[in-house]
Amino acid sequence: MGRPRLALVPGEPAGVGPELCVSALQHDCGADITVFGDRAALLRAAHLLDLPLSLDGSGPGNARLVEIPHPQVAAFGTPVPANAASVIAALRMASDACQRGELDGMVTGPVHKAAINAGGIAYSGTTGLLADWAGRDVVMMLANEVLRVALVTTHLPLREVADAITPQALERTLGILHASLQQDFGIARPRIAVLGLNPHAGEDGHLGLEEIEVITPLLERLRGQGMRLSGPLPADTAFLPAKLREVDAVLAMYHDQGLPVLKHSGFEQAVNLTLGLPWPRVAVDHGTALDLAGTGQASPSSLMAAMATCARLAATRRRTGTMETPA
């Protein structure tokens, strides 16, 4: 069967992405790596870090390269909008290679949204792009060694969240999360803790009706179909260690309900997964860190965790025969 084959996309060339890639490639993540990016940016990072880098092989310190040159050399810490198209092209070419079945998964470094938009490309996030390109509904889930937290809504103003918590949105999210826990993590009967929207999960309607009118009826229906769901649970106690030991994932209603807890429990090892794609995609859980670019001080721990996680997910899909093949 061989080792999984992963795409690695460094992201914004003026940020820490190239440095993190060079550092992470010094370690064997359990997969063969193909980097989609600019050779000069990677070699500059290797020179800065005084680390070996070969772009024509595999193994520690080595990777294959699909070169997507950046039209301008970006100074460390200063994104160049003219490079926006090449940054997006790297993502698209890596995605296409996975879609064709040439690679088994995709790991992405941090991208600078403002620079891409300044370059004339409407961009709100890589997750949305990958979903559009693959024609799939997706769910964002962050994970570390302690817990997994998926989100019903992602980057919404808080005043819009309640209207977005609909039976359809909940059912779609839970369906994707449940299938991914089976397909990617090899959990035959996943246990999912579902948080309420309101404080104390609405306190029997005294603090909001969303739990009574939307969340509880949907959970009861899905339980009737065989899903192992607990909730809706008060968010302030759902993350107690004893309760987390009883579940495989937590579903939060909105971004800041679940992610602060996860990041507090282990930010350096946290990764961002896109569930629902035909192949695993894992990203770092941090930004471009422009202030650290060029200093050699950025930690590759999140990227290393993302690569190792993606390798495990791809291997699980291969082993269980759930790796999707191109049509």
How far apart (Å, rounded) are the C-alpha atoms in residues 318 and 5?
Answer: 11
How far apart (Å, rounded) are the C-alpha atoms in residues 283 and 274?
Answer: 8
Would you state the pLDDT for residue 124? 85
Would you state the pLDDT for residue 105? 97
Question: Which tokens hold the place of 52?
Answer: 């070996």
Q: Which of 1, 64, 8, 16 is nearest to 298 (CA)?
A: 16
Q: Which residues are CB-contacts of 227 (< 8 A; sequence separation ≥ 6)?
A: 174, 178, 190, 192
The one-letter code for the residue type at 266 is G
Give the full edge-to-edge strand order of the sheet including 139-143: 64-67, 32-37, 5-9, 105-108, 281-284, 271-275, 139-143, 148-151, 249-252, 191-195, 228-233
H helical segments located in the chain: 17-24, 39-49, 84-99, 113-118, 126-134, 158-164, 167-183, 210, 216-224, 235-238, 241-244, 255-266, 301-320
pLDDT in tens, 14-23: 999 999 999 9
Bridge partner residues of 234 (DSSP): none
DSSP states along 124-167: S-HHHHHHHHHT---EEEEE-SS-EEEESS-S--HHHHHHH--H
**The overall pTM is greater than 0.85:** yes
DSSP states along 24-63: HTTS--SSEEEEEE-HHHHHHHHHHHT---BSBS-STTB-
Q: Which residue positions in the chain have pLDDT lower than 70?
A: 1, 58-60, 322-323, 325-327
Read off the DSSP letter of residue 106. E
The one-letter code for the residue type at 171 is E
pLDDT in tens, 226-255: 999 999 999 999 999 999 999 999 999 999
pLDDT in tens, 134-166: 999 999 999 998 899 999 999 899 999 999 999
216 burial type by CB count under 10 A (0-12 exposed, 13-18 middle, 19+ buried): middle
Would you state the pLDDT for residue 318? 85
Q: By three-state DSSP, how is residue 273 classified?
A: strand
Give the distance from CA 309 to its chain's centroid: 10
Q: Are 171 and 278 in contact (CB under 8 A)?
A: no
Cα dihedral 84, 63, 285, 274 sign: positive
